[in-house]
Amino acid sequence: MRKRVALPVLASDALSSIAYAPDEILLTLALAGVPATALSPVVGLAVVVVMVVVTLSYRQTVHAYPSGGGDYEVVTRNLGAGAGLVVAAAILLDYLLTVAVSVSSATTYVTSVLAPLQAYRVPLAVGLIAVLATVALAGRASSGRLLAVVGQLFMVSIGLLAVVGAVRELALGGLPAAQSAGLEVVPVPAHDEALATIGGAFLVLRAFSSGAVALTGVETITTAVPTFRRPRAANAALTLVMLGAIASILLMSVLWLARVTDVRVVADPAQQLRVSGAPVGENYHQDPVLHQVAQAVLGGEVLPAVVAVLTAAILLIAAMTVFHRFPRLAGQLAKDELLPRHLWMRGNRVSVANGIIALAVGSAVIVWVAQADVVRLIALYLVGVFISFTLSQAGMVRHWTTVLHVEQDRKARRAARSSRRINALGLVLTSLVLVIALMTKLTRGAWVSLLVLAVGVALMALTRMHYADVRRRLAVPDDARLAALPARVHALVHVARLDQPTVRAIAYARATRPSTLECVAVELDTAESARLRAQWRAAGVPVPLTFLHAPDGDMLHPLLEHVAAVRRSSPREVVVVYLPEYVVRHPWQRILHNASARRLQARLRQVPGVVVSSVPFQLATADVAHAKDHDA
């Protein structure tokens, strides 16, 4: 993959955060009123500092681990399987919330252009998730070139927005005020005097942790190094640096323009915004910061709508990339026995489809519960992201320490020390953001993320323990007689009626040449049993038919008792039960056939020394046979 394609596609997650990171900073500061929002550039600058350090830190990861394992590989190799479990759960939660946040934010931009859809924001978001999942299920990977064009158009549009805004503000007499500039912002009672107290610092920290959502997606490139053109690591590292620079510039540009145009956004418009002293009311629609800035800078309706549409598009691309990345992550976790093993088989479309459906359902549920409220979702989002960041940086520090213990070359040791210092600084800053996020957002939803992470870690640990236990139980003992054969084979064909599937099952059973062969039917109705006896004699079936009495009308119990009796009479004898199975053409017909056979098969599989063999019979085969008889 070329850099000009990789940057807008792989970086869509990080770039798309420009759509909601400024909002998070401004609406948090607005809790203390308009004067507090003057600190937004300072908060944004602090976020940019962290972004630069984290970007440089992940640049070291790209060079050290070019296989594309990302945070999971770094943490598992350097900090152990336990820490790897935590990161695995955090990444899975990150995937769910990336889809939820991106689609919810995209819905906000769509409804800012099409205001009548505001009342249907939640169904619209769920519908968009369904569309993305359907595209992913269709197996048609989106064209990288098309996605790249959309990403490039988004970057160009925001870049031009910043340039036009700067020219108009600095050289042409100033920018007009945003449409929300005339609204009065009422401070929340708990924060109305916060700037003069220690609560002010806490509020700024809360705004900083909210704005740190701009860092989400920076790590994506580390998982896609193998897709780059050679030299892969160098190209991926350069793309990562470009991403960090572009994202930082765009974030600061939007915050500066929002400050210049006096954009007003709050967490609860109905309560915090007033016009002429009166609340704006429940019907007020608050546009996102980027759209308000575009309206003030570009004027009119068409160009701001184009910016909003491109922003929604980049957000949906960010969500789509998660659907495409999930099979690779699931395969790696399944290989390490943290998820069901069948997810390791990447060519298994059913397994991939199950993962995509699970991702879509999980993210749709999150959107529905949160009512597509981006502010509520961000509180859940940050914790998992920065747990991964922090553990990854700790793993890289451990990696470079190990390298220094074994490396003798002076140039290589100098490079390792430099990389360790960068990752150590990244560890300090990401740990700081994680602590701040927990302090400021624990009661606002972060506890839910911690609970989900704990449950995820426990489930994956149990999965790994189960596979280890199964492997131990199934291991072949050293003294096992691998060539040993059963003393006898007792074959049993279950007969419900005399038809082609039953005849085929009897033929298959006879072809295996068992020691004993019998056909068994359960007598549920005396007349039906008599009719079956007569058909059996008339057909001259060369195998005797045994009827089992069922006094309570239960078919399964007599069959199970009969099999158990055969096992008791000859414990060394293997019992093979042949079950005729109808193979139908249409899925809806499956509920009409084989119900008793499925129940019997499930029960017999629990009996030691019993083998169940299903003999399929395609009903279409019977149609062909009847057609030939008719022609003859």
Which residue matches tokens 């007349």?
A: 527
Whether the CB-CB separation of 220 and 45 falls below 8 Å is answered with no
Distance separating alpha carbons of residues 586 and 579, to the nearest angstrom = 21
Do 183 and 257 have their domain in common?
yes
SS3 570: coil
Do 457 and 309 have their domain in common?
yes
Residue 477 falls inside a structural domain: no
Do 366 and 433 have their domain in common?
yes
Report the pLDDT value the prediction gives residue 151, as an integer from 0 to 100. Answer: 84
Do 501 and 458 have their domain in common?
no
Residue 41 CB neighbour total at 10 angstroms:
15
Do 462 and 492 have their domain in common?
no
Residue 527 falls inside a structural domain: yes
Angle at 580 between CA 577 and CA 582, to 5 degrees: 150
Angle at 82 between CA 385 and CA 419, to 5 degrees: 60
DSSP 8-state class, residue 340? -
Helix (H) or strand (E) holding 279: strand 278-279
Q: Which domain holds residue 450?
A: 3-466
Number of structural domains (the chain) is: 2
Residue 472 falls inside a structural domain: no
Residue 474 falls inside a structural domain: no
Residue 311: burial class (beta carbons within 10 Å; 0-12, 13-18, 19+) = buried
- DSSP per residue over 94-160, as a string? HHHHHHHHHHHHHHHHHHHHSGGGGGGHHHHHHHHHHHHHHHHHTT-PPPHHHHHHHHHHHHHHHHH
Do 429 and 531 have their domain in common?
no
Report the pLDDT value the prediction gives residue 277, as an integer from 0 to 100. Answer: 82
SS3 616: strand
Question: Residue 228: phi, psi to the nearest 5?
Answer: -80, 160
Report the pLDDT value the prediction gives residue 195, as an integer from 0 to 100. Answer: 59
**Domain holding 233: CATH number?**
1.20.1740.10
Report the pLDDT value the prediction gives residue 479, as an integer from 0 to 100. Answer: 63
Do 461 and 509 have their domain in common?
no
Do 272 and 420 have their domain in common?
yes
> CA dihedral in degrees (497, 503, 504, 508; nearest 10)?
110
Report the pLDDT value the prediction gives residue 101, as an integer from 0 to 100. Answer: 95
Domain boundary at 434, 466, 498, which? 466
Whether the CB-CB separation of 348 and 42 falls below 8 Å is answered with no
Do 370 and 503 have their domain in common?
no
Which residue matches tokens 């399964």?
A: 556
Cis peptide before 269 (omega within 30 of 0): no
Residue 622 falls inside a structural domain: yes
Report the pLDDT value the prediction gives residue 609, as an integer from 0 to 100. Answer: 86
For the chain, 632 residues long, the average pLDDT of each consecutive 10-residue run is 67 85 92 84 94 94 89 94 94 94 95 90 95 83 69 91 93 89 84 64 88 88 85 89 91 94 90 86 87 92 93 93 84 88 67 84 95 90 92 96 91 94 96 92 88 95 93 76 72 92 93 93 89 92 90 83 90 90 80 82 88 87 53 50
Distance separating alpha carbons of residues 65 and 333, to the nearest angstrom = 17
Report the pLDDT value the prediction gives residue 280, as an integer from 0 to 100. Answer: 85
Signed CA dihedral, 405, 410, 412, 415: sign only: positive
Do 406 and 535 have their domain in common?
no
**Domain holding 533: CATH number?**
3.40.50
Q: Output the CA–CA distances (angstroms, integers) from residue 488 to 466, 516, 572, in the order listed.
A: 34, 8, 7
Paired tokens of 535: 């058909």
Do 455 and 498 have their domain in common?
no
Distance separating alpha carbons of residues 132 and 117, to the nearest angstrom = 19
- DSSP per residue over 180-201, as a string? TTTSEEPPPGGGTTGGGSHHHH
Do 458 and 592 have their domain in common?
no
